[in-house]
Amino acid sequence: MSQTVETVPPAKLESHPPGLYALFTTEMWERFSFYGMRALLVLYLTKAMGYSRGDALNVYAIYTGLVYLTPLIGGRLADLYLGQRKAVFIGGTLMALGQFALTQRELLPLGLGLMIVGNGFFKPNISVMVGSLYPKGDHRLDGAYTLFYMGINLGALLAPLVSGPLGEWVGWPYGFASAGVGMILGLLTFVFTQRLLQSAGLPPWRDAGAEPKLRPADWVEIGVISGVVALGVFGLIRAWPSLQPYWSPAWASTAALSFLYRGTILLGGLLLFILATEPRAKAEMNELHEPFTRADWQRLGVIVTISLFSVVFWMGFEQSGGTLNLFADEKTDRSIFGWTVPTSVFQSANPIFIVTLAPLFAILWTALARRNFPLPSVAKQGLGLVLLSSAFAVMYFADKQSKQGLISPLWLLSVYLIFTVAELFVSPIGLSLVNRLAHPRIASLMMAFWFLCTAAANYLAGIMEHTLEPYHLNLWAFLGAMAFVPGVMMLALTPVLVKMSHGRV
């Protein structure tokens, strides 16, 4: 079982355990790997592989959707069998293999498949380990997740500046290979900083007082599982031509029908997986002697509510790697003193702003909590949505301006700045909130549900432009309205959700 480790003495409530910085660095390199590939994917598909704009955005939608769907499985396996720490190692190994597979054109499906599955093991579990370093109810948790989020964005900042130019100027394989090297550096960091994590993330049955690192048998298990999963992905890719008719039947010809059909298949498979592992979950629950109470069920309702509202946020925010990336490539003046800035470099704007602003927000949340004037976390979510809607108002006017020719990059930079402030209200606070509200036995599963909603949002983000075309709706105006209305609703629901959280927001 993942244990909550109280490492900070009462006299130093504002300091953070050293394990936070170990996870910070590991996640930084993993995100360098992920965002390095994301900055290149749509450009690689359109410029090197000959995909049309629509087809490239569709691949991007499927990839970014699935990459946040698999954490539901990885989180469950970590909760019941592996522990978060082994799951992180397995996920990192698979993602490194996926990045290097992408250096070969013919291995594109395999590379994307390994990245999708690897992220499922990695993403929810390293986020849960952050919360495991703190005692329950610790007011530092919002600040801790904001600092952790800064690590995510340090990696996201470096990736477009390294992998992007390497891919666009030197050669696409070099860009993907540099992302693979980043993942390996993340794994090495995790190996050599295990002791700082104490018992956080160890297998569920491991004694909390045991040596705070993985044993030789654990490493063998990590290697075997990674190999078996990689072979499984390879087998699925090879068998895909014969499975394609079942995935894309002729009757599911519209975008809506296709989305509903595929969503039903995926969610049905996930439900079967959860039911198959339920006996083990009940056994673990009995061992903990922590049955679900009425308050736990109400807190679960809060998690589900904020996660569903987050779909709207990420559906808008994830235009960054798709339509906004193409907007930078096609409609933005990227020339500076005769030098053309690579399109992928614009992807570094958001993380630059995150790295600059995240420490200030961490200080702000902690200061408000210390002065007994905390802004409820659910209210922060609502404010984030309202801010996001204002970014799309800017994009609406930027798009109109682009009809007259290439526009100033300041338009996009302004949008990314507003995106960043909105993101700091939503994402790290959401991670913290899920960790505080979830029952211990389903901590990773609930973190995975948060990412499941992100998966749906990512897929919708990729198909949104194509879906709206027949109705002649302006993409930016539509997304602005879609963010503003739920944002106001979330603010109105804040008193109810605070009451349902029973003192944990």
Q: What is the pLDDT of residue 390?
A: 96
Taking residues 114-142, what's their average pLDDT?
Answer: 83
Q: How many CB atoms lie within 10 A of CB 400?
A: 12
Using pLDDT thresholds of 50, 70 and 90, give the confidence band for residue 92: very high
Element at 41 (helix H, strand E):
helix 18-47
Reported as a pLDDT band with limits 50, 70 and 90, residue 258 is low
Give CA–CA dist 381/340, Å, rounded.
38
Measured distance CA(95)–CA(92) in Å, rounded: 5
- Indicate whether 468 pLDDT > 60: yes
Region 80-89: mean pLDDT is 86
SS3 318: coil
**Does position 96 have pLDDT exceeding 90, yes or no?**
yes
Q: How high is the pLDDT of residue 253?
A: 63
Better pLDDT: 70 or 388: 388
Confidence band, pLDDT 50/70/90 cuts, at residue 362? confident
Checking if the pLDDT of 337 tops 90, the result is no
Length of the chain equals 505
DSSP 8-state class, residue 48: T
The mean pLDDT value of the chain amounts to: 82
pLDDT at position 373, please? 72
**Amino acid residing at 438:** A
Is residue 98 within 8 Å of 111, Cβ to Cβ? yes
Q: How far apart are CA 388 and CA 420, in angstroms?
A: 9
pTM of the full structure = 0.73
pLDDT of residue 267: 64
pLDDT digits (tens, 9 = 90+) for 37-74: 888 898 899 888 988 888 888 888 888 888 877 887 88
Q: What is the pLDDT of residue 208?
A: 55
DSSP string, 161-219: HHHHHIIIII-HHHHHHHHHHHHHHHHHHHHHTGGGGTTTT--TTS-TTS-SS--HHHH
Residues whose CB is less than 8 angstroms from the CB of residue 39 and which lie 6 or more positions away in sequence, other chains included: 159, 160, 163, 164, 167, 321, 325, 344, 347
Which of 51-60, 76-85, 158-167, 205-214 shows the lowest mean pLDDT across its residues? 205-214
Alpha-carbon gap, residue 99 to 322, rounded angstroms: 20
Query: From CA 98, how far away is CA 86, in angstroms rounded?
Result: 19
3-state SS class at 112:
helix
Its sign, for the CA torsion 7, 202, 149, 315, is negative
- Residue 351 is predicted with a pLDDT of 83
What ranges do the domains of the chain cover? 14-239+255-500
* Pairwise pLDDT comparison (256 vs 376), residue with the higher score: 376
Which stretches of 102-140 are DSSP H helices? 108-132
Check the CA dihedral 74-79-82-85 and report its sign: positive
Q: Tens digit of pLDDT for each residue in 171-223?
A: 999 999 999 999 999 999 998 888 888 778 777 666 555 566 777 777 787 88
The span from the CA of 233 to the CA of 262, in Å, is 19
* Cβ–Cβ under 8 Å, residues 74 and 225: no
Residues 6 or more apart whose Cβ sits within 8 Å of residue 15: 8
Structure confidence at residue 257 as a pLDDT band (50, 70, 90): low
Q: Are 502 and 299 within 8 A, CB to CB?
A: yes
Q: Which of these ranges, 4-18, 85-99, 253-267, has the smallest mean pLDDT?
A: 4-18
Considering the chain, what percentage of its residues have pLDDT values greater than 90?
28
Half-sphere CA count of 455, side-chain side, radius 13 A: 25
Q: What is the pLDDT of residue 7?
A: 37
What is the structure's pLDDT at 174? 95
What does each C-alpha distance from 153 to 123, 162, 212, 428 come to in angstroms? 14, 14, 28, 11
SS3 assignment for 49-63: CCCCHHHHHHHHHHH
Instruction: Give the separation between CA 400 and CA 355, rounded to whole angstroms.
Output: 31
Is residue 79 within 8 A of residue 167, CB to CB? The reply is no
Q: Exposure of 339 by Cβ count < 10 A (0-12 exposed, 13-18 middle, 19+ buried)?
A: exposed
| pLDDT digits 0-9 by tens, 304-313 | 999 999 999 9
Q: 76: closest CA among 116, 119, 121?
A: 121
Q: What is the pLDDT of residue 274?
A: 63
- Amino acid occupying residue 482: M
3-class SS of residue 502: coil
Residue of higher predicted confidence among 127 and 277? 127
Span 405-435, pLDDT tens digits: 898 999 999 999 999 999 988 877 777 788 7
Between residues 283 and 303, which one has the greater pLDDT?
303
The more confident residue out of 386 and 345 is 386
The more confident residue out of 350 and 241 is 350
pLDDT confidence of residue 5: 37
Is the sign of the CA dihedral 62, 65, 71, 72 positive or negative?
negative
Distance CA 31, CA 253 (A): 36
* C-alpha dist (Å) from residue 143 to 14, 15, 320: 9, 10, 26
Q: What is the pLDDT of residues 288-299, one digit of tens each?
A: 556 678 888 899
CA angle 191, 430, 2 (to 5 degrees): 40
Q: What is the pLDDT of residue 118?
A: 92
Q: Which CATH number fits domain 14-239+255-500: 1.20.1250.20, 1.10.3720.10, 1.20.120.1200, 3.40.50.300?
A: 1.20.1250.20
Lowest pLDDT segment from 282-286, 330-334, 364-368, 404-408: 282-286
